[in-house]
Amino acid sequence: MRNNKKTFLDILAPVVSIAAVFLIWWVISLFLSPVRLPSPITVIQKWITSIFYYPQVSLYARGTNFNLHLLSTTRKYFIGVTIGILSGIAFGLFLGWSKLLRDFFESPLEIIRTIPSLAALPFFIMWFGPRELSQLGLVSFYCFIMIVINTLNAIKSVGPKFFRFALTLGAIRGQVYRTVVIPAIIPELVGGIRVVLAVSWGFVVLAEFMGAGYGVGRLIISFIPFLHTVGIFVCIFWVVLFASVTDLLFMQLIARPLTIWMPR
Amino acid sequence: MESKIKIKVEGLCKVFFSEQNEKNTVFVNLNFKVYEEEFVSFIGPSGCGKTTLLNIIAGLEPYTEGKVLINGHPITKPGADRGMVFQEDAIFPWRKVIDNVEYGLEMRKIDKQERSLIAKKYLELVGLEEFANYYPKELSGGMRKRVAIAMVFANNPDTLLMDEPFGSLDYVTKVDLQEELSKIWQKERKTTLFVTHDLEEALFLSDRIFVFDKNNTIAEIIEVPFSRPRGEEVRNGQELLEQKKLLWRHFQ
Amino acid sequence: MNIKKGFKLNPIRIMGILSLLIIWQIASKIIDDSTILPSIVAVMKTIPDLATFGGKELGGFEEPSYYGAFIVLSRNSLITFARLLGGTLFGIFAGISAALLIWWDEVIRRFIEPLVLTLRNLPPLALLPLFMIWFGGWEMGNILFIAFSVGVMIVINSVTAIRNLPPVQIRFAKVFGASRGQILRTVIIPGIIPELAGGVRVVLGMAWAITLGAEFLAVQSGIGRILIFSMNYLATGRMIIILLIFMIYAYLTFLLFSKFVNYLTRWMPNRE
């Protein structure tokens, strides 16, 4: 059995490897133009100042620093995933209740599922305009579809032995659904949500590429024609930070407490 | 004194069709009676017959033809009156031990205080009162089995159905649990149907043993002559050995 | 292990699909605005317009026609597929190789693995503009982008899959005197395929999304491009056609991959 205690090397290695990456990056950047590969030092400098004062923003988009844009993206993301995930779970549970409903909705769902959710974006843009609503809509749509399917699959894979046991203990259908199905699907649901949370950051940024308004994606797009690669890197750093923090918060605050009963 | 008939099975027929649409006959014309407060074991070669029978009586599986009556009423669906302990580990991993034991009572809307008391009592009976607030994952297989037994007993079913409940446990734990079950059963006598492969187990626990053959019909019904309560002396006694030899002959 | 269980068509399921079509038809009549939702018939009628995609230089036709549409669609489909398959296969190969390398050498594992884990939180779609700047319009850039995104996903899955292999199998092989290379070839690689196969659907979905994303922004050809092109002209009918085509393609690729994977895992006992 692996020794779970973190040895010194375990903590050292990630630090060393990330430092190594920066080092290699820095070395390569010396040979390439800042348009191809800006120096990591510049990127980090710009990253830190990006929330205070970042002149390039006002040249290419609105505002004088990143803040408005960071807030915009974050807002769209959180509203989008919340709506999508919650409604997805609700609809999934609703469908899971009756085999009839499930059969009826499953085929359209399977059909929608094969299409990459991104394909919905042009439709949203056409129907609602390139506004922030379309961007939010895409995130919600993606989360909804993925989570509904995830919930349905989770319900299907609940061990029948639990149903049987509950029934012989006197539980009726509604009680079984509430006290057996819902707790049993939590681990699988948590797994699905984690994935969806990570991917949705990509979706919101891409939707911003194609749309209007504020947002990190808008900044990236506006930097391209001016070949302001440093700015693009800064934006990417922000997104990675957001995604990592979201993942961390989700795992610590929601996932762990809910799955504390799971055997490893 | 003539005991009342608890369970009566008449002309039971069960047929099912496999995925390849083959007709599989499980039982044809099965007949037997089980009396109140009787402990009956079903033994016989492996095959899904005995488990299917138990599931039918539990109301978890339908049957094709015949009558299955409990207290004179036909069995149509599962219920708290027929508690079942499965071979698989089916206690709910997401509930603490005490919440598991309270489950049946919770479903019957018994209020929290009363539930708590009853649950604690049965946890003590199986010797797990210290583990009330643990999650099942922290318990061993044998302990989880005891939780299942406590759960079922706490629900106070009329009839007890047990499908090779100790099958997956090691010998020592098995013997331990058999004795515990015997003790509990002494206190709260319930009509019990017990499926097992273990001849010793059947002889130790039951009043009667139904021997099934490979056609899933009852080849023989054996009266177990040991008096109750049965303790270690019975298990290690000469009589049990003799009976085992007799039983074994039926399997030849 | 059968990845795709037969999608059994029973009457209710058929009703589900039919009702979707019926709702479509009714909604289009109610909305009565072909920009928002054209009727099924109207959509079919717009097929010929696809022929005009691209203009003369990119192989488009001057006049709309069914034949022209067919040619345009075929050509662009091939382009899209080439990108998708090229990138995906490259990515799978690179990803599995990287994972095997991580297994092979403890030192590599210590240093590469934390990096890989950080990559998990890097949404590949956000990197598209970077690839655009680096590779300009060079087709290879798109394929590399797809390969990179798929590769990251595969590495993570493979590393987990390797870790989930029952250690007893490796020990067993060692008992037979198998060398490291032989263990790799005969135990590890076949062993991780089932678990990877389970993630095929997700990986393919990701690959399609990435390809589509690239076609939205970075290129001038391919089915995704036609979608954007139609969007700019508010040609909902054409967009729906492309959507349907996408569905068929996605379904086909998934079917093909599942068959391939089922062939590779034909030795596995069937899960009930």
Domain ranges within chain B, ordered by starting residue: 5-81+158-250, 90-156
Instruction: Choose between A169 and A110: higher pLDDT.
Output: A169
- What does the pLDDT read at residue B162? 94
The span from the CA of A32 to the CA of B81, in Å, is: 79
Instruction: Choose between A129 and B135: higher pLDDT.
Output: B135
> Is A32 within a domain?
no
Mean pLDDT of C85-99: 89
Instruction: Choose between B16 and B108: higher pLDDT.
Output: B108
The span from the CA of B119 to the CA of B20, in Å, is: 46
For the packed helices A67-97 and A99-114, what is the interaxial angle rounded to 10 degrees?
A: 140
Q: How far is A158 from chain B (nearest CA, A)?
A: 12
The span from the CA of A50 to the CA of B140, in Å, is: 56
- Residues paired with B65 in a beta bridge: B13
The answer on pLDDT for B193 being more than 50 is yes
Say if B136 is an interface residue toward chain A (CB within 8 Å). yes
Best residue of B51, B99, B107 to probe chain A, by most A CBs closer than 10 Å: B107
Mean pLDDT of B173-189: 88
The answer on pLDDT for C31 being more than 80 is no
Say if B115 is an interface residue toward chain A (CB within 8 Å). no
Q: What mean pLDDT value characterizes chain C? A: 80
Which residues are CB-neighbours of B10 under 8 A, at least 6 positions away? B31, B66, B67, B68, B69
Mean pLDDT of C32-54: 75
The span from the CA of C97 to the CA of B244, in Å, is: 60
- What does the pLDDT read at residue C2? 36
Is residue B142 a contact partner of residue B105, using CB atoms and an 8 Å limit? no
How does DSSP assign A145-200, residue by residue?
A: HHHHHHHHHHHHTS-HHHHHHHHHTT--HHHHIIIIIHHHHHHHHHHHHHHHHHHH
Mean pLDDT of C35-40: 76
Residue C4 banded pLDDT, cuts 50, 70, 90: very low
Token digits for C107? 């030192």
Pairs of residues, one from chain A and one from chain B, whose beta carbons lie less than 8 Å apart: 74
**B201-236: pLDDT as tens digits:** 888 999 999 988 877 888 788 888 887 777 777 777
- What does the pLDDT read at residue A1? 44
Lowest model confidence (mean pLDDT) among A100-104, C91-95, C203-207? A100-104
For the packed helices C200-217 and C139-163, what is the interaxial angle rounded to 10 degrees?
A: 160
Give, in words, the CATH class of C74-264.
Answer: mainly alpha
- What does the pLDDT read at residue A194? 93
pLDDT cut 90: percent of chain C above it: 3
Say if A100 is an interface residue toward chain B (CB within 8 Å). no
Q: C touches which chains (3+ CB pairs under 8 A)?
A: A
Mean pLDDT of A172-182: 92
Mean pLDDT of C217-245: 84
Residue C53 banded pLDDT, cuts 50, 70, 90: confident
Best residue of A7, A24, A109, A118 to probe chain C, by most C CBs closer than 10 Å: A118
Q: How far is C180 from chain A (nearest CA, A)?
A: 21
**Chains B and C touch, contact meaning at least 3 pairs of CB atoms under 8 angstroms apart:** no
Q: What mean pLDDT value characterizes chain B? A: 88
Choose the most confident range, by mean pLDDT, from A61-70, B116-125, C118-127: B116-125
Q: Do the strands B159-163 and B191-195 form a parallel or antiparallel pair, or are they unpaired? A: parallel
Is residue C196 a contact partner of residue C158, using CB atoms and an 8 Å limit? yes
The answer on pLDDT for B113 being more than 80 is yes
The answer on pLDDT for C107 being more than 60 is yes
Q: A touches which chains (3+ CB pairs under 8 A)?
A: B, C
Choose the most confident range, by mean pLDDT, from B192-196, B213-217, C210-214: B192-196
> Is A187 within a domain?
yes
- What does the pLDDT read at residue A167? 94
Between the alpha carbon of residue C47 and those of residues B190, C52, C55, C65, C67, the distances in Å are 75, 10, 16, 8, 10
Which among C12, C132, C217 has CB closest to A103? C12
CB contact under 8 A, C121 and A110: no
Residues in chain C within 8 Å Cβ distance of A21: 115
Say if C230 is an interface residue toward chain A (CB within 8 Å). yes
The answer on pLDDT for C110 being more than 50 is yes
Tell the burial category of B94 from Cβ atoms under 10 Å away from its Cβ (0-12, 13-18, 19+): buried
Domain spans of chain C, in order of start: 74-264
Q: How far apart are the first and last CA of chain B?
A: 35
Token digits for B159? 């009839």
Residue A3 banded pLDDT, cuts 50, 70, 90: low
Say if A168 is an interface residue toward chain B (CB within 8 Å). yes
CB contact under 8 A, B80 and A263: no
Q: Which domain holds residue A242?
A: 37-258
The answer on pLDDT for C270 being more than 60 is no
Choose the most confident range, by mean pLDDT, from A86-95, B17-26, C15-24: A86-95
The span from the CA of B95 to the CA of B103, in Å, is: 9
- What does the pLDDT read at residue B82? 93
Pick the CATH number of B5-81+158-250 from 3.40.50.150, 3.40.50.300, 3.80.30.10, 3.90.1150.10: 3.40.50.300
- What does the pLDDT read at residue C58? 60
Residues in chain A within 8 Å Cβ distance of C203: none
Instruction: Choose between B137 and C10: higher pLDDT.
Output: B137
Which residues are CB-neighbours of A41 under 8 A, at least 6 positions away? A26
- The number of domains in chain A is 1
Mean pLDDT of B34-57: 87
Mean pLDDT of C220-243: 84
Mean pLDDT of A217-246: 90
Which residues are CB-neighbours of A235 under 8 A, at least 6 positions away? A216, A217, A219, A220, A223, C126
The answer on pLDDT for B42 being more than 80 is yes
Instruction: Choose between A100 and A143: higher pLDDT.
Output: A143
Helices (H) and strands (E) in chain B, counts: 9, 10
Choose the most confident range, by mean pLDDT, from A254-263, C29-38, C73-82, C217-226: A254-263
**A101-129: pLDDT as tens digits:** 887 888 788 778 878 888 889 889 888 88
Choose the most confident range, by mean pLDDT, from A240-249, B65-74, C57-66, C76-85: A240-249
**Chains C and A touch, contact meaning at least 3 pairs of CB atoms under 8 angstroms apart:** yes
> Is A17 within a domain?
no
**A63-97: pLDDT as tens digits:** 778 888 899 999 999 999 999 999 999 999 999 88
Which residues, numbered 86 to 125 in chain C, qualify as contacts with chain A under a Cβ-Cβ cut-off of 8 Å?
A: 110-112, 114-115, 118, 120-125
Which residues, numbered 86 to 145 in chain A, qualify as contacts with chain C under a Cβ-Cβ cut-off of 8 Å?
A: 100, 103-108, 110-111, 114-119, 121-123, 125-127
